[in-house]
A = this chain, B = another copy of it.
Amino acid sequence: MRITYKGDYALKTILDLSLHYGNGPVFIHDLAERADIPEKFLEQILLDLKRGGFVESRRGKVGGYLLARPPAQIKLGEVVRFIEGPTEPIACTEKDYSGCKDKYKCVFRGIWQEISRATSQIIDNITFEDLRRKTEVPGSSFVYQI
């Protein structure tokens, strides 16, 4: 698993929306500005996150985005997997992978699965509520002040 800029932006945006949870929609423009994300790129990412059921949108003059669920019910792992795909470090379990004559006998496969499990263990035990709380501790604040 690798975190791309897209994933990085998605996570920062969900965290921003977590900090605003319960206060109505937030403009893309403000989200983009606070996290220093190209606005048009963030538009696309938010449409993705909407299709993934993470956020909702309101159109029109007082529109914007808000979380579809409370921050405590959104795990970091869910968002990461949705944007980045599986946590395995190699695509050798997928059907189009052609590097193994018999992947079930490969001695490396178990190792990649172990890494995948260890990674999941971490990202599936953190919710955006956890991150929100961390952010609000003074001195250990988020990348940007909100």
Contacts and interface: CB of A to CB of B under 8 A. Distances in A.
A89 B142 contact: no
B131 A123 contact: no
A39 interface: no
B144 A3 contact: no
Given A2-B2, A144-B101, A107 B131 contact: yes
Give the number of times this chain occurs in the complex, counting copies.
Answer: 2
8 contacts: A2-B2, A3-B89, A8-B92, A12-B99, A36-B101, A100-B143, A107-B134, A118-B121
Interface of A: 1-3, 5, 7-9, 11-12, 15, 36, 76, 89-90, 92, 98-103, 105-108, 111-112, 114-115, 118-119, 121-123, 126, 131, 134-135, 140-144
